[in-house]
Amino acid sequence: MSALRRSRSRVAVAGAALAAVLAVQGCTTTQDPATDRPGGLGPRLARLLDDLVQQHGFPAAQVTIDGPGGHRVLTAGAGDTVTGAPIGDGARVRIGSNTKTFVATVVLQLVAEGKVDLDAPIERYLPGVVRGNGNDGDRVTVRQLLQHTSGLPDYLASGDPAVPPDPGSPQLRPDAEKIRWAHYESADLVRIAMSMPPRFEPGARSVYTNTNYILLGMLIEAVTGRPAAAEITARILEPLGLRDTYFPDPGETTMRGPHPRGYQDIDGARADFTDLDPSWAGTAGAMVATPADLNRFFAAVLTGKLLPAAQVDQMRRTVPFDRGEPGAGYGLGLIRQPVSCGKEVWGHGGSIPGFETRNGVAVDGTVVVVVVNQLPADHAAADAVAQVFNAAICS
Protein backbone atom coordinates (compact mmCIF):
# COMPACT_ATOMS: atom_id res chain seq x y z
CA MET A 1 0.00 0.00 0.00
CA SER A 2 1.18 3.51 -0.54
CA ALA A 3 0.35 7.06 0.38
CA LEU A 4 -0.18 9.69 -2.31
CA ARG A 5 2.82 9.18 -4.51
CA ARG A 6 4.07 8.75 -8.04
CA SER A 7 3.05 5.13 -8.59
CA ARG A 8 5.68 2.65 -9.74
CA SER A 9 3.23 -0.22 -10.06
CA ARG A 10 2.81 -1.92 -13.43
CA VAL A 11 -0.63 -1.80 -15.03
CA ALA A 12 -1.81 -2.74 -18.50
CA VAL A 13 -3.22 -0.03 -20.78
CA ALA A 14 -6.68 -0.77 -22.20
CA GLY A 15 -6.89 -2.42 -25.60
CA ALA A 16 -8.27 -0.57 -28.61
CA ALA A 17 -11.73 -2.16 -28.46
CA LEU A 18 -12.20 -1.39 -24.77
CA ALA A 19 -10.87 2.14 -25.23
CA ALA A 20 -13.43 2.73 -27.94
CA VAL A 21 -16.26 1.62 -25.67
CA LEU A 22 -15.06 3.88 -22.85
CA ALA A 23 -14.66 6.84 -25.16
CA VAL A 24 -18.29 6.55 -26.22
CA GLN A 25 -19.46 6.19 -22.63
CA GLY A 26 -17.80 9.41 -21.52
CA CYS A 27 -18.33 11.23 -18.23
CA THR A 28 -21.46 11.24 -16.09
CA THR A 29 -22.28 13.57 -13.21
CA THR A 30 -24.65 14.00 -10.29
CA GLN A 31 -23.38 17.45 -9.40
CA ASP A 32 -25.18 20.77 -9.14
CA PRO A 33 -25.89 21.99 -12.72
CA ALA A 34 -24.86 25.50 -11.70
CA THR A 35 -21.25 24.38 -11.63
CA ASP A 36 -21.54 22.86 -15.11
CA ARG A 37 -21.63 26.18 -16.95
CA PRO A 38 -19.06 26.72 -19.74
CA GLY A 39 -15.64 27.10 -18.19
CA GLY A 40 -16.92 25.96 -14.80
CA LEU A 41 -15.77 23.14 -12.55
CA GLY A 42 -17.95 20.45 -14.14
CA PRO A 43 -16.67 20.64 -17.74
CA ARG A 44 -13.05 20.93 -16.65
CA LEU A 45 -13.21 17.93 -14.33
CA ALA A 46 -15.17 15.97 -16.94
CA ARG A 47 -12.38 16.55 -19.47
CA LEU A 48 -9.71 15.54 -16.96
CA LEU A 49 -11.60 12.39 -15.98
CA ASP A 50 -12.14 11.44 -19.61
CA ASP A 51 -8.40 11.90 -20.16
CA LEU A 52 -7.70 9.39 -17.40
CA VAL A 53 -9.73 6.78 -19.27
CA GLN A 54 -8.97 7.62 -22.89
CA GLN A 55 -5.32 8.67 -22.66
CA HIS A 56 -3.97 6.92 -19.56
CA GLY A 57 -5.71 3.54 -19.72
CA PHE A 58 -7.73 3.52 -16.49
CA PRO A 59 -10.94 1.48 -16.78
CA ALA A 60 -12.79 4.15 -14.77
CA ALA A 61 -12.24 7.25 -12.66
CA GLN A 62 -14.46 9.10 -10.22
CA VAL A 63 -14.18 12.28 -8.18
CA THR A 64 -16.38 12.93 -5.14
CA ILE A 65 -16.50 16.45 -3.70
CA ASP A 66 -18.17 17.43 -0.42
CA GLY A 67 -18.22 20.71 1.44
CA PRO A 68 -19.68 24.20 1.01
CA GLY A 69 -20.97 23.33 -2.48
CA GLY A 70 -22.77 20.19 -1.32
CA HIS A 71 -22.20 16.64 -2.54
CA ARG A 72 -21.01 16.30 -6.13
CA VAL A 73 -19.82 13.24 -8.06
CA LEU A 74 -18.36 12.96 -11.56
CA THR A 75 -17.52 9.62 -13.14
CA ALA A 76 -15.90 8.44 -16.37
CA GLY A 77 -15.32 5.01 -17.87
CA ALA A 78 -16.38 1.54 -16.78
CA GLY A 79 -16.41 0.32 -13.22
CA ASP A 80 -16.97 -3.11 -14.74
CA THR A 81 -15.30 -3.72 -18.11
CA VAL A 82 -17.61 -6.66 -18.86
CA THR A 83 -20.93 -4.85 -18.38
CA GLY A 84 -19.70 -1.30 -19.05
CA ALA A 85 -21.45 -0.09 -15.86
CA PRO A 86 -19.84 3.05 -14.38
CA ILE A 87 -18.65 3.42 -10.79
CA GLY A 88 -21.84 4.28 -8.92
CA ASP A 89 -22.26 7.19 -6.53
CA GLY A 90 -21.95 5.51 -3.13
CA ALA A 91 -20.03 2.46 -4.37
CA ARG A 92 -17.43 0.98 -2.04
CA VAL A 93 -13.75 0.70 -2.93
CA ARG A 94 -10.66 -0.69 -1.23
CA ILE A 95 -9.00 2.37 0.36
CA GLY A 96 -5.53 0.94 0.94
CA SER A 97 -3.30 3.11 3.10
CA ASN A 98 -6.08 5.49 4.12
CA THR A 99 -6.47 2.74 6.73
CA LYS A 100 -3.36 4.19 8.37
CA THR A 101 -5.19 7.40 9.28
CA PHE A 102 -7.94 5.40 11.00
CA VAL A 103 -5.27 3.52 12.97
CA ALA A 104 -3.37 6.72 13.83
CA THR A 105 -6.61 8.32 15.05
CA VAL A 106 -7.28 5.45 17.46
CA VAL A 107 -3.68 5.54 18.73
CA LEU A 108 -3.96 9.27 19.38
CA GLN A 109 -7.28 8.75 21.16
CA LEU A 110 -5.42 6.34 23.44
CA VAL A 111 -2.73 9.01 23.92
CA ALA A 112 -5.43 11.52 24.92
CA GLU A 113 -6.79 8.96 27.40
CA GLY A 114 -3.36 8.56 28.99
CA LYS A 115 -3.03 4.93 27.89
CA VAL A 116 -0.22 5.43 25.35
CA ASP A 117 2.86 7.67 25.46
CA LEU A 118 3.92 8.88 22.01
CA ASP A 119 7.57 8.97 22.98
CA ALA A 120 7.67 5.63 24.78
CA PRO A 121 9.48 2.74 23.09
CA ILE A 122 7.24 0.21 21.40
CA GLU A 123 8.92 -2.40 23.61
CA ARG A 124 6.79 -1.10 26.49
CA TYR A 125 3.59 -2.20 24.75
CA LEU A 126 4.84 -5.10 22.61
CA PRO A 127 7.67 -6.69 24.58
CA GLY A 128 9.95 -8.85 22.49
CA VAL A 129 8.11 -8.24 19.19
CA VAL A 130 10.56 -5.80 17.56
CA ARG A 131 13.68 -7.92 17.83
CA GLY A 132 16.25 -9.58 15.58
CA ASN A 133 18.84 -8.69 12.95
CA GLY A 134 19.59 -5.36 14.61
CA ASN A 135 15.95 -4.30 15.09
CA ASP A 136 15.38 -3.11 18.65
CA GLY A 137 12.00 -2.18 20.12
CA ASP A 138 13.73 -0.29 22.94
CA ARG A 139 15.03 2.23 20.38
CA VAL A 140 11.85 2.76 18.34
CA THR A 141 9.09 4.99 19.71
CA VAL A 142 5.36 5.05 19.02
CA ARG A 143 5.79 8.47 17.40
CA GLN A 144 8.44 7.09 15.05
CA LEU A 145 6.10 4.31 13.96
CA LEU A 146 3.33 6.83 13.26
CA GLN A 147 5.67 9.09 11.29
CA HIS A 148 7.64 6.41 9.42
CA THR A 149 10.91 7.41 11.08
CA SER A 150 11.43 4.04 12.80
CA GLY A 151 13.96 2.69 10.30
CA LEU A 152 12.31 -0.74 10.45
CA PRO A 153 12.30 -2.87 7.28
CA ASP A 154 9.11 -3.29 5.26
CA TYR A 155 7.52 -6.71 4.95
CA LEU A 156 6.16 -5.63 1.53
CA ALA A 157 8.28 -5.39 -1.61
CA SER A 158 8.44 -2.00 -3.29
CA GLY A 159 6.41 -2.97 -6.36
CA ASP A 160 8.79 -0.93 -8.51
CA PRO A 161 9.08 -2.65 -11.92
CA ALA A 162 12.49 -1.03 -12.33
CA VAL A 163 13.73 -3.06 -9.36
CA PRO A 164 13.98 -6.76 -10.26
CA PRO A 165 12.48 -9.05 -7.61
CA ASP A 166 15.07 -10.54 -5.30
CA PRO A 167 14.34 -14.28 -5.28
CA GLY A 168 15.99 -14.50 -1.87
CA SER A 169 13.96 -11.69 -0.27
CA PRO A 170 11.29 -12.65 2.26
CA GLN A 171 9.23 -9.58 1.32
CA LEU A 172 5.69 -10.15 0.05
CA ARG A 173 4.56 -9.08 -3.42
CA PRO A 174 0.78 -8.68 -3.06
CA ASP A 175 0.02 -9.04 -6.77
CA ALA A 176 1.38 -12.61 -6.64
CA GLU A 177 -1.40 -15.18 -6.82
CA LYS A 178 -0.24 -17.15 -3.78
CA ILE A 179 -0.12 -13.97 -1.67
CA ARG A 180 -3.49 -12.81 -2.97
CA TRP A 181 -5.32 -15.76 -1.38
CA ALA A 182 -3.08 -16.45 1.61
CA HIS A 183 -4.06 -15.47 5.14
CA TYR A 184 -1.61 -13.63 7.39
CA GLU A 185 -1.77 -12.61 11.02
CA SER A 186 -0.08 -9.36 12.06
CA ALA A 187 2.59 -11.34 13.89
CA ASP A 188 3.40 -13.18 10.63
CA LEU A 189 4.00 -9.89 8.83
CA VAL A 190 6.18 -8.52 11.61
CA ARG A 191 8.25 -11.72 11.64
CA ILE A 192 8.92 -11.22 7.93
CA ALA A 193 10.10 -7.68 8.63
CA MET A 194 12.26 -8.75 11.59
CA SER A 195 14.08 -11.27 9.39
CA MET A 196 15.77 -8.28 7.70
CA PRO A 197 18.08 -5.60 9.14
CA PRO A 198 16.91 -2.02 9.83
CA ARG A 199 16.96 0.39 6.90
CA PHE A 200 18.40 3.29 8.94
CA GLU A 201 18.84 4.52 12.49
CA PRO A 202 15.54 5.33 14.27
CA GLY A 203 14.70 9.01 13.84
CA ALA A 204 17.28 9.64 11.11
CA ARG A 205 14.74 10.18 8.32
CA SER A 206 11.24 9.23 7.16
CA VAL A 207 10.76 6.31 4.77
CA TYR A 208 7.21 5.07 4.20
CA THR A 209 6.99 1.58 5.74
CA ASN A 210 3.92 -0.59 6.14
CA THR A 211 5.45 -2.55 9.02
CA ASN A 212 5.05 0.53 11.22
CA TYR A 213 1.27 0.44 11.00
CA ILE A 214 1.01 -3.31 11.48
CA LEU A 215 2.82 -2.76 14.77
CA LEU A 216 0.47 0.11 15.66
CA GLY A 217 -2.50 -2.19 15.10
CA MET A 218 -0.86 -4.68 17.48
CA LEU A 219 -0.32 -1.83 19.96
CA ILE A 220 -4.04 -0.99 19.90
CA GLU A 221 -4.91 -4.60 20.64
CA ALA A 222 -2.34 -4.86 23.44
CA VAL A 223 -3.57 -1.69 25.16
CA THR A 224 -7.32 -2.19 24.74
CA GLY A 225 -7.58 -5.98 24.81
CA ARG A 226 -9.64 -5.89 21.59
CA PRO A 227 -8.74 -6.21 17.89
CA ALA A 228 -7.81 -2.97 16.17
CA ALA A 229 -10.74 -3.46 13.77
CA ALA A 230 -13.18 -3.51 16.70
CA GLU A 231 -11.66 -0.35 18.17
CA ILE A 232 -11.83 1.43 14.79
CA THR A 233 -15.49 0.45 14.51
CA ALA A 234 -16.42 1.51 18.06
CA ARG A 235 -14.33 4.69 18.19
CA ILE A 236 -14.75 6.02 14.64
CA LEU A 237 -17.23 4.26 12.36
CA GLU A 238 -20.17 4.07 14.76
CA PRO A 239 -19.85 7.60 16.24
CA LEU A 240 -19.61 9.13 12.76
CA GLY A 241 -22.31 6.90 11.26
CA LEU A 242 -19.96 5.55 8.58
CA ARG A 243 -22.19 2.62 7.70
CA ASP A 244 -20.49 1.92 4.36
CA THR A 245 -16.99 1.66 5.81
CA TYR A 246 -15.60 -1.53 7.33
CA PHE A 247 -12.53 -3.55 8.19
CA PRO A 248 -12.84 -6.94 6.44
CA ASP A 249 -13.42 -9.95 8.66
CA PRO A 250 -10.70 -12.62 8.85
CA GLY A 251 -10.85 -14.71 5.67
CA GLU A 252 -13.24 -12.29 3.90
CA THR A 253 -12.16 -12.06 0.27
CA THR A 254 -15.14 -10.41 -1.44
CA MET A 255 -16.36 -6.82 -1.08
CA ARG A 256 -19.69 -6.07 0.55
CA GLY A 257 -22.41 -3.99 -1.09
CA PRO A 258 -22.26 -2.13 -4.42
CA HIS A 259 -18.71 -1.77 -5.73
CA PRO A 260 -16.82 -1.51 -9.00
CA ARG A 261 -14.39 -4.14 -10.16
CA GLY A 262 -10.71 -3.52 -9.46
CA TYR A 263 -8.07 -4.43 -12.04
CA GLN A 264 -4.37 -5.26 -11.98
CA ASP A 265 -1.74 -5.90 -14.62
CA ILE A 266 -0.66 -9.55 -14.42
CA ASP A 267 2.06 -10.53 -16.86
CA GLY A 268 1.05 -7.80 -19.28
CA ALA A 269 -2.70 -8.51 -19.24
CA ARG A 270 -5.48 -6.79 -17.32
CA ALA A 271 -6.92 -9.12 -14.68
CA ASP A 272 -9.91 -8.69 -12.39
CA PHE A 273 -8.32 -8.32 -8.96
CA THR A 274 -11.41 -7.28 -7.01
CA ASP A 275 -11.46 -10.29 -4.73
CA LEU A 276 -8.48 -11.01 -2.48
CA ASP A 277 -7.61 -11.75 1.12
CA PRO A 278 -6.41 -8.34 2.39
CA SER A 279 -4.84 -9.78 5.55
CA TRP A 280 -1.39 -9.04 4.08
CA ALA A 281 -2.42 -5.37 4.25
CA GLY A 282 -3.94 -5.53 7.74
CA THR A 283 -3.89 -2.29 9.73
CA ALA A 284 -1.62 -0.80 7.07
CA GLY A 285 -4.25 -0.95 4.31
CA ALA A 286 -7.11 -3.47 4.44
CA MET A 287 -10.18 -1.23 4.87
CA VAL A 288 -13.09 -0.64 2.48
CA ALA A 289 -15.19 2.55 2.27
CA THR A 290 -17.24 4.78 0.02
CA PRO A 291 -15.70 8.08 -1.08
CA ALA A 292 -18.45 9.96 0.78
CA ASP A 293 -17.61 8.13 4.03
CA LEU A 294 -13.92 8.79 3.47
CA ASN A 295 -14.67 12.49 3.06
CA ARG A 296 -16.67 12.53 6.30
CA PHE A 297 -13.91 10.75 8.19
CA PHE A 298 -11.09 13.06 7.12
CA ALA A 299 -13.22 16.15 7.74
CA ALA A 300 -14.02 14.83 11.23
CA VAL A 301 -10.34 14.26 12.00
CA LEU A 302 -9.30 17.75 10.93
CA THR A 303 -12.20 19.53 12.67
CA GLY A 304 -11.62 17.87 16.03
CA LYS A 305 -14.69 15.63 16.11
CA LEU A 306 -12.58 12.58 16.94
CA LEU A 307 -9.61 14.01 18.81
CA PRO A 308 -8.79 16.83 21.23
CA ALA A 309 -7.02 19.82 19.70
CA ALA A 310 -3.67 18.80 21.22
CA GLN A 311 -3.71 15.48 19.38
CA VAL A 312 -4.86 17.03 16.08
CA ASP A 313 -1.91 19.39 16.43
CA GLN A 314 0.42 16.41 16.92
CA MET A 315 -0.95 14.76 13.78
CA ARG A 316 -0.13 17.88 11.76
CA ARG A 317 3.52 18.09 12.81
CA THR A 318 5.25 16.85 9.67
CA VAL A 319 8.63 15.72 8.45
CA PRO A 320 9.81 15.40 4.85
CA PHE A 321 9.36 11.85 3.57
CA ASP A 322 10.25 9.77 0.55
CA ARG A 323 6.90 9.82 -1.25
CA GLY A 324 4.35 12.37 -2.35
CA GLU A 325 4.61 15.56 -4.33
CA PRO A 326 7.49 18.01 -3.72
CA GLY A 327 6.73 19.93 -0.54
CA ALA A 328 4.57 17.19 0.98
CA GLY A 329 5.12 16.29 4.63
CA TYR A 330 4.15 13.27 6.74
CA GLY A 331 2.64 13.86 10.16
CA LEU A 332 1.15 11.21 12.45
CA GLY A 333 -0.97 9.38 9.90
CA LEU A 334 -1.71 12.58 7.95
CA ILE A 335 -0.01 14.06 4.91
CA ARG A 336 0.25 17.77 4.16
CA GLN A 337 -0.38 17.99 0.43
CA PRO A 338 0.81 20.95 -1.69
CA VAL A 339 -1.67 22.12 -4.34
CA SER A 340 -1.43 24.73 -7.08
CA CYS A 341 -3.86 27.19 -5.49
CA GLY A 342 -1.89 27.37 -2.24
CA LYS A 343 -4.65 26.03 0.00
CA GLU A 344 -3.68 24.15 3.15
CA VAL A 345 -4.70 20.56 2.40
CA TRP A 346 -4.44 17.45 4.59
CA GLY A 347 -5.21 13.83 3.71
CA HIS A 348 -3.48 10.55 3.04
CA GLY A 349 -4.41 8.40 0.04
CA GLY A 350 -3.86 4.76 -0.70
CA SER A 351 -2.97 2.16 -3.31
CA ILE A 352 -3.78 -1.54 -3.27
CA PRO A 353 -4.04 -3.91 -6.23
CA GLY A 354 -7.28 -2.94 -7.98
CA PHE A 355 -7.74 0.58 -6.60
CA GLU A 356 -6.03 3.89 -5.95
CA THR A 357 -7.51 6.79 -3.98
CA ARG A 358 -6.28 10.35 -3.61
CA ASN A 359 -8.00 12.45 -1.00
CA GLY A 360 -7.72 15.57 1.10
CA VAL A 361 -9.43 18.25 3.16
CA ALA A 362 -8.86 21.94 2.46
CA VAL A 363 -9.12 24.61 5.15
CA ASP A 364 -12.17 26.06 3.38
CA GLY A 365 -14.08 22.83 4.08
CA THR A 366 -13.78 21.30 0.61
CA VAL A 367 -13.18 17.53 0.85
CA VAL A 368 -12.23 15.45 -2.20
CA VAL A 369 -11.68 11.79 -3.05
CA VAL A 370 -10.46 10.68 -6.49
CA VAL A 371 -10.79 6.95 -7.28
CA VAL A 372 -9.37 4.91 -10.14
CA ASN A 373 -10.00 1.17 -10.39
CA GLN A 374 -6.52 0.19 -11.55
CA LEU A 375 -3.12 1.33 -10.36
CA PRO A 376 -1.36 3.91 -12.58
CA ALA A 377 0.82 2.43 -15.30
CA ASP A 378 3.48 5.13 -15.21
CA HIS A 379 4.39 8.55 -13.84
CA ALA A 380 2.28 10.32 -16.47
CA ALA A 381 -0.82 8.40 -15.39
CA ALA A 382 -0.10 9.08 -11.71
CA ASP A 383 0.36 12.78 -12.48
CA ALA A 384 -2.95 12.83 -14.36
CA VAL A 385 -4.74 11.47 -11.27
CA ALA A 386 -3.02 14.14 -9.20
CA GLN A 387 -4.22 16.79 -11.65
CA VAL A 388 -7.83 15.72 -11.13
CA PHE A 389 -7.40 15.95 -7.36
CA ASN A 390 -5.72 19.36 -7.66
CA ALA A 391 -8.51 20.75 -9.87
CA ALA A 392 -11.23 19.46 -7.55
CA ILE A 393 -9.67 20.66 -4.26
CA CYS A 394 -8.82 24.06 -5.75
CA SER A 395 -12.36 24.65 -7.04
Catalytically annotated residues: 97
Q: What are phi and psi of 18, to 5 degrees?
A: -65, -40
- Buried/exposed code over 49-88 (b: 16+ C-beta within 10 A; e: otherwise): bbbbbbebbbbbbbbbbbbeeebbbbbbbbbbbeeebbbb
Query: Which DSSP state fits 107?
Result: H
Name the residue type at position 307: L
Give the Cα separation of 62 and 17 in Å (integer): 22
Residue 145 CB burial class (10 angstroms; 0-12, 13-18, ≥19): buried
Report strand pairing: 355-362 vs 367-372.
Answer: antiparallel
Give the Cα separation of 190 and 181 in Å (integer): 19
| Contact between residue 99 and residue 350 where contact means Cβ atoms under 8 Å apart | yes
